[in-house]
Amino acid sequence: MADLLFCSHYPFTQQAKEYAAQHRLELSDSIVEKAEARLQDALASGRIKKAADLPSAQEEEIAIYAVARMVVSAANNRYLIRRYALAEAKRAGEYLSSDLSSHPEYVEAVAGELGLKFEKQQEGFLIPFAQYLLFTPRSVDYKLSNRELAAGKVRVGKQERIRILEEAVRKRIESSLPMKADFPQSISLAAARISALIPRLEAQAVRIGQENYPPCIRKLLEDLSLNINVPHTGRVVLAMYLVNAGLPDDKIVELFRPAPDFSEKTTRYQVEHIRKHKYRMPSCSTVDGYGLCVAECRCGNPMNYKESVHGRRLKELEKERKA
């Protein structure tokens, strides 16, 4: 017997999926409407409201979740996917916190489903260090150097365990989207309405002189403007380039605004840090090593691209070949 309360709290689990499959949850207008509201919440506030724990609402929650995933998939936008996954993970985190006292077995079940191997200890829990590194933010609070690490396991507290679960939920949901399928018209229409709410911040102001930017930098800017998440190294490389290219801080910060997890304070701090320490642009081979090179422009360093003797030399070579 499926546990309906569990499934409604954690609709991303296998058990919830099976419940939905067995009970042929219907795709009514009201469910689509509620799924749309769930996505609006996620987009606007980064949160999803918890529903009342009533049996009728519980089954509905499972259906709403399934439909919301369809709408997100039909919209197929990286920013929406990230923002939505983040909001679902926060919602799950809230349930995990409250279930900790009333239904501790739920927390165990979610951890098991996500493949997280927590071992209960007298004080806190132990978790394999690789999972710890995978699902904790790289911040002072989680610095491995200050942690109790022994026999491959790190000790974490009760709250930290919830935080790790939340991050694992986020990654799970994000990597499972978009689903590839043909969606009914009601879903496509909802997707179009939601898509209209996605912030489009790729200001034209950004486009100054971009034709002079090397392909790797153009790709990073393009990803950012399309709300695609750019990894940390990519952001640093981009910021280094823009600082070295002579863009003022304000303009650089604006370029980062479309990132799904944009924080003005952090971005500004990092840009100022690069400027203050006069970080030089890394070479092409370093950039390639980061997996950010998209074309073999052979200019040695992205900073050279514009003046690149190379562009000219290539033309000369071509001329020679023709002659």
Partner 1 sequence: MSMAVHQASKEEEFLRKLFSGFYTSCQLGVSKPQQREFGFGGWEKKIEFRHIGVKGEAELRARLVSDAPLYVSYSVAYYEFPAARPMVKKNWLGADLVFDLDAPAHSCGKFTCGQCLAQVKRETIQLVEEFLVPDFGFSQSEISVNFSGSRGYHVHVVSDAVEQLDREARREIADYITGTGLQFDKLFWEEGKKLFGPRPSQGGFGGKFARSFLARLEDGSFALSISRSLKDPAIRQKMRRAIEEGNWDPIGIANRKKKFQEKFSSMMLSLSGRIDSNVTADTSKLIRMPGSLHGGSGLLAKKVSMAGLEKFHPMEDAIAFSSGEAKVKMGEPVPRFSVKGEEFGPFEAGETRELPLAAAVYLLCKKAAVLE
Positions that interact with partner 1 (CB under 8 A) = 128-130, 133-134, 138, 140, 143-155, 232-233, 288-296, 298
Closer Cβ to partner 1, 92 or 224, answer by number: 224
Closer Cβ to partner 1, 65 or 241, answer by number: 241
| Smallest gap from residue 3 Cβ to partner 1 (A) | 32
| Smallest gap from residue 105 Cβ to partner 1 (A) | 27
| Smallest gap from residue 47 Cβ to partner 1 (A) | 27
Closer Cβ to partner 1, 24 or 138, answer by number: 138
Closer Cβ to partner 1, 42 or 154, answer by number: 154
Residues 36 and 80: their CA atoms lie apart, in Å, by 12
Q: What long-range pairs does 318-321 form, CB within 8 A, spacing at least 24?
A: none
Instruction: Look up residue 193 and give its amino acid.
Output: R
| Smallest gap from residue 128 Cβ to partner 1 (A) | 7
Using the structure block, give the residue that is written with the tokens 């942690």: 147
Closer Cβ to partner 1, 152 or 199, answer by number: 152
| Smallest gap from residue 101 Cβ to partner 1 (A) | 27
Residues 255 and 275: their CA atoms lie apart, in Å, by 16
Q: How many CB atoms lie within 10 A of CB 106?
A: 20
Closer Cβ to partner 1, 279 or 290, answer by number: 290
| Smallest gap from residue 244 Cβ to partner 1 (A) | 21
